Amino acid sequence: MKSGIFAILRCFFPLEFAKPVACFFIKRTSSMTAIKHFAVMLCVFLLALATTQVTVASQDNKLTIGVVVPAPPKFVYKVWQPVADYLKATTGLDAEIKVIKGFDRIKHAVVNNEIDIFYADAYIFYLLSQQNLIEPVAQVENLRGNIMTRSAVFVHKSSGVKTLQDLKAKKVAFVNPTSLGGYVAPRALFHRNGINTNKDVEAVFTKNLASSLHKTLLQDVAAGSMCSLKFKLMSRKIEVGDLQTIALSDEYPENLIAAPRGIDQAKLQKVAEAFRSLDTNQQGQQVLKGMAPMKIKRFVAYDPMVLEVIRKLTVDAEI
């Protein structure tokens, strides 16, 4: 009996484990009872092992993509679901989109391994990079064929505001504090022109681009700010003929794709190559066409210089 149980255990465990376990069953129980106990425990163990292997395999095949943008979730899914479908078809990974709002939530998702990669504002990328929590995957080349862009400060034509100096003691709409184009770059512009956004103007955070446009159109604020290319794209949906640009910021990098540190490198390389090759095939080009509302032309290899560009902007902005 002992030899029979021992032989079965040796199929699954090393010798030093199999022998004492077989002895344990034989010494404590009768032969038939030992067989029953052993059979039950073996079945439970094998079931748990199979479940674990299936779960691990499922997790290894899953790709959760976080998307962090100041846009309605419905719009985000419309733009990004075709990307998930493309990645599933080309990499075999079970890709899904997860809309994430705000810096604290994306940091939590990164730290707790709730996502495999994410698409976000370059300033969020910068902040998480400073904490050594992420690594780059790819970056956006915009519809103008550039990885850099500028922000516009715009006002209502009837406001009487002609220069940044005219905005002192007035309300200025920014998107949110972690937006490079909707806050950091415009703030740097104001500060370089001697206007402290903490003291000399009243900063209003609208949390989305459309609100910044509407508040400026209604003259609830004296000025708004956002990426100049995004301003142009949104003018196709919102009538902005009554607005005019009075200043442009220095250049800053477009959004990036990044991944939490520690992600499987083989999986990451596969995903990075899939993103960077979107424009090389018909299916990928169709996906990119649907991403135009986010001013995305294609994804290119990461350029390390973006961190220095952002660092300089934060210095100018006195952040």
For each of the domains in the chain, give its residue range(s) and CATH number, in order of start. 2-58 (no CATH), 62-147+254-314 (3.40.190.10), 151-250 (3.40.190.10)
pTM above the 0.85 mark? Answer: no
Task: Give SS3 for 114.
Answer: coil
Among candidates 5, 75, 68, 70, which has minimal Cα distance to 38?
Answer: 5
R_g of the chain, CA atoms, integer Å: 28
**179-201 pLDDT tens trace:** 999 999 999 999 999 999 999 99
* Tokens (6 digits) for 97: 């989109």
pLDDT at 15 over 70: no
| pLDDT above 70: percentage of residues in the chain | 82
Q: Report the C-alpha dihedral over residues 117, 106, 150, 210, rounded to 10 degrees.
A: 110
Stronger pLDDT, 135 or 236, i.e. the higher one: 135
**214-243 pLDDT tens trace:** 999 999 999 999 999 999 999 988 999 999
**Mean pLDDT, residues 50-72:** 71
**Mean pLDDT, residues 22-38:** 54
pLDDT of residue 56: 35
pLDDT of residue 272: 97
Residues in the chain: 319
Stronger pLDDT, 22 or 140, i.e. the higher one: 140
Q: Confidence band (pLDDT; 50, 70, 90) for 37?
A: low
Q: Confidence band (pLDDT; 50, 70, 90) for 24?
A: low
**Mean pLDDT, residues 3-26:** 53
Rounded to 5°, angle at Cα 155 from 143 and 166: 130
Strand pairing class (223-227; 151-156): antiparallel
Q: Confidence band (pLDDT; 50, 70, 90) for 60?
A: confident
**Mean pLDDT, residues 251-271:** 96
Contact, 149 vs 228, CB < 8 A? yes
**Mean pLDDT, residues 18-41:** 54
pLDDT at 61 over 60: yes
